[in-house]
Amino acid sequence: MATETIKLILKLGKPLVGRLLLYDALEMTFREVRLRRDTECPVCGDHPTVTELIDYEAFCGLHETAAG
């Protein structure tokens, strides 16, 4: 991810837009998988419904109560 960030900032090379690079450290192999954009995605689709960050601690019930 850091390499992709540097490539985007410096506008060098070909970014992995629409692709995912899989790396197997045990076998020392790389695999590239093409991805299609999901137009129905609630975050990045044509009509997003998730437009801000959520409070994950509250979502998971991790906030301490007065007794807790």
> What pLDDT does residue 56 have?
82
> 16 — phi, psi (to 5°)?
-85, 40
The answer to whether residue 67 is domain-embedded is: no
pTM over 0.75: no
- With respect to residue 64, please indicate whether it lies within any of the assigned structural domains: no
Domain presence at residue 18: yes
Per-residue model confidence (pLDDT) at position 34: 96
Show the low-confidence residues of the chain (pLDDT under 50).
none
Residue 40 lies inside a defined structural domain of this protein = yes
User: How confident is the model at residue 43, as a pLDDT?
Assistant: 85
In the chain, the number of structural domains is 1
Name the residue range of residue 36's domain: 2-59
Domain assignment of residue 7, yes or no = yes
Pairing assessment for the beta strands 19-24 and 29-34 based on DSSP bridges: antiparallel
Residue 47 included in any domain = yes
